[in-house]
Amino acid sequence: MAKAKKVNLRKVLDEILLEGGVSYSLFTGQANPKTGYMVSILGFEKQIDLDKIVEQDIKDYVLTNADALWGDTRFLGGWKDGNKVVLDVSVNIDSVTQAYYTGIINKQKCIYDCSNKRYISLPSPQTSGTETQQKAYAKMKAEQYAYLLETTGVE
């Protein structure tokens, strides 16, 4: 069983405050992957006032969400959003189609393209119908948007 790296809370907070955001793996100690797509997982978002956030807030978040943050594709996400800092659990996904799908079913507004350092907007998820229908819609939209992005570069 792999041992987790010591979390550098100062590095995480500095990346958020000075660079605007960070994706940090507690498993590997890696910050800001160079490839893949970062996708937030529904239900783990926490907002903290920008002028009040301290390292202890990040430590508390990590301790509360340790199980969800465990694994080599899981990351602690943090970024500035207006006068708030948003913390979340994100996953790094290699496939753009899978990233679109995961983002849509997790009701996210966008995903982050690590290679090109840009956000990619997502369509709203289908809210009517059965869960199976909603997932089918998300899969269809993910394939459509990924094809468009890969062939034209347009979101």
Whether 117 contacts 61, CB under 8 Å: no
Question: pTM (2 decimals)?
Answer: 0.83
Whether 120 contacts 98, CB under 8 Å: no
Confidence of residue 42 (pLDDT cuts 50, 70, 90): very high
For residues 55-76, average pLDDT: 94
User: Rounded CA gap, 59 and 49, in Å?
Assistant: 16
Q: Which two tokens stand for residue 2?
A: 């792999």
Closest CA to 140 of 85, 89, 97, 103: 97
Confidence of residue 99 (pLDDT cuts 50, 70, 90): very high
Q: Taking the domains of the chain in order of start, what are their residue ranges?
A: 9-152
For residues 97-104, average pLDDT: 94
Q: Is the pLDDT of residue 136 over 90?
A: no
- Count of CB atoms within 10 A of residue 63's CB? 10
In this prediction, residue 147 carries a pLDDT of 76
